[in-house]
Amino acid sequence: MRRRTLLGSLAAAGTLPLLPRLVPAAEGFSFEQVVERARLLAAAPYRERGDERPPQLAALSWDAYQRIRFRPDHALWADLDVPFRIQYAHLGIFFKKSVRLHEVVGGSERLIDYEPALFDYGGTRFDPPLPHELGFAGFRIHHHTDFEPDVAVFQGASYFRAVDSRNQYGMSARGLAIDTGLDRPEEFPDFTDFWLVRPGPSDTTLRVFALLDGPSVTGAYRFDIAPGDTTLFDVEAVLFFRRSVERLGIAPLTAMYQCGENDRRVCDDWRPEIHDTDGLAIVTGRGERLWRPVGNPTRVRVTTYLDDSPRLFALEQRDRDFGHYLDDGARYHLRPSVWVEPLDAWGPGRVMLVELPTPDETFDNIVAFWNPERPPAAGAEMRLRYRLHWGEQAPLPSPLARVIGTRTGRGGVVGHPEPPRTRKFVVDFAGGKLPLLAAERKPEIEIETSHGYTTAPVLDASPSGPKAGIWRLRGSDVFRVAFDLHWQDPKPVDMRLRLRLGHEVLSETWVYLFDPPGS
């Protein structure tokens, strides 16, 4: 079904009224109008949208699609003295559903039409010509600091992402995740409409409204986007549930981890590490700081961290050493971390981490989100606010030492047979008060496992001996903890580790899930 036919059918059924080309200024277009449209949409049955590409676009090769370029001189607001410009993304290849873009000026909205003149098609000719009701695949935001590179993009389902001042994209965010990590396909609701509010000459933020639609939920979103050394997204969302949702994912983050220092299962590559995140960070409602290295498992792996109103959670790219990646094209060492900061009390629930197997770096296989304790039922409404930080520096500085490295390998002692059901772990801590410790002082190790036991990695280690060893790396303020994990039961082992000095906690808590062979 053509998109124009689909929209007409929905309007006739009272499902999705066709938006007027101009709303009179007296009505004062606002976020609450988007909320009301989401509310009305949720009261109607969901209408599945198929492939909306015309045949001539569907037949495009990857190279031909890549040659389609937006003409920068046709950018929205390019002729105005304002600090933002918008470039439109073209349908094709993986982008099969169109979105409607609107400009909001002085309280009125205007639908932005697709025009072939907006794009350079790189020599490709379409017969018949592409229709004027084609729509767009999304849009890119440019900022006056340098109108060449974009600072954020909204494209595909409810995905969006941003850069910091180093102009390097990495992981993505989504409007919502539905049933991620369950034993059935997850649901991907779509942003169907965006409203771009024209900024003033001195504005430092860009306001964008969005309408979300999916089989289980509709929603209205407001994004206030502020580029900078750290790019900030203030997000407000109002959700309306058509039906109950088993696993709701709020503020989902999506990233890629193929291999790194703690997981080299899929790393037959000339580069030592390939990832745009190396771990999940959480600041709990009580203030405890957790660090969970991620991996590339052999099966779908879902980990939950119970909490009540978390202060922060993030997928971080902590390792910034180019020599650990050696890739000056992908520039993994420059990819921004993304932190989610709730701006309201979210109540009881859990931060969930989903790790999927991936054969290479082209697939995002890491997802993190907040899952409320009580699943939403059909007819439920939910309003929430949060802030996304895209950058290198965490928004809540920590006085504690941080984990800067996790490595694992063959257990036992070099030169001796490897003990059965044994694995060695090495965890490096730095920062906080560790540099202030006298040379002869060593932090105390607090270590726990869900089953099995740990020992210091020495020849005569036994369950009754030391649980782990610690020392300061020569010529540095890095403290290294090493231990051997021993297990009998092949089920996964949860581990926790942190450093103390008497009653004082010196470090964040390292948490890890180890899958023994055969688990």
Instruction: Please report, for residues 28, 146, 319, the alpha-carbon distance to residue 255 in angstroms, rounded to integers and kept in the order given.
Output: 39, 26, 15
pLDDT, average across residues 491-514 = 97
pLDDT-derived band at 27, boundaries 50, 70, 90: low
Per-residue pLDDT reduced to its tens digit, 301-340: 999 999 999 999 999 999 999 999 999 999 999 999 999 9
CATH of 19-391, one of 3.20.20.140, 3.30.420.240, 2.70.98.10, 3.40.50.800: 2.70.98.10
pLDDT at 463: 73
Average pLDDT over the chain, rounded to whole? 92
pLDDT, average across residues 477-503 = 95
State how far the Cα of 248 lies from the Cα of 179, in Å rounded to an integer: 6
Same fold, 19-391 and 402-514: no
- Of 24 and 75, more confident: 75
Measured torsion, CA atoms of residues 284, 289, 295, 297, in degrees rounded to the nearest 10: -50
Per-residue pLDDT reduced to its tens digit, 290-301: 999 999 999 999
Reported as half-sphere exposure (CB side, CA atoms, 13 A), residue 104 has a value of: 19
Per-residue pLDDT reduced to its tens digit, 164-176: 999 999 999 999 9
State how far the Cα of 114 lies from the Cα of 100, in Å rounded to an integer: 9
Pairing outcome for strands 301-308 and 274-275: unpaired
Of the candidates 333, 303, 510, the residue with the CA atom closest to the CA atom of residue 426? 510
pLDDT-derived band at 16, boundaries 50, 70, 90: very low
- Of 94 and 465, more confident: 94
> Domain spans of the chain?
19-391, 402-514
**Amino acid at position 53, single letter:** R
Pairing outcome for strands 138-143 and 231-241: unpaired
**What is the SS3 string spanning 337-375?**
EEEEEECCCCCEEEEEEEECCCCCCCCCCEEEEEEECCC
**Amino acid at position 83, single letter:** P
Q: Is 31 left (phi over 0), alpha (psi -120 to 50) or beta?
A: alpha
CATH of domain 402-514: 2.60.40.10
Torsional sign, CA 93, 98, 99, 102: positive
Per-residue pLDDT reduced to its tens digit, 339-392: 999 999 999 999 999 999 999 999 999 999 999 999 999 999 999 999 999 999
How buried is 414 (Cβ within 10 angstroms: 0-12 exposed, 13-18 middle, 19+ buried)? exposed
pLDDT at 416: 86
How buried is 55 (Cβ within 10 angstroms: 0-12 exposed, 13-18 middle, 19+ buried)? exposed
pLDDT at 459: 57
Least confident of 123-137, 221-235, 373-387, 417-431: 123-137
pLDDT at 133: 85
pLDDT, average across residues 474-494 = 94
Q: For residue 1, is pLDDT > 60?
A: no
pLDDT at 460: 59
Q: What angle do CA 301, 491, 248 make, to 5 degrees?
A: 30
Are 385 and 235 in contact by the 8 Å Cβ rule? The answer is: yes
Q: For residue 9, is pLDDT > 80?
A: no
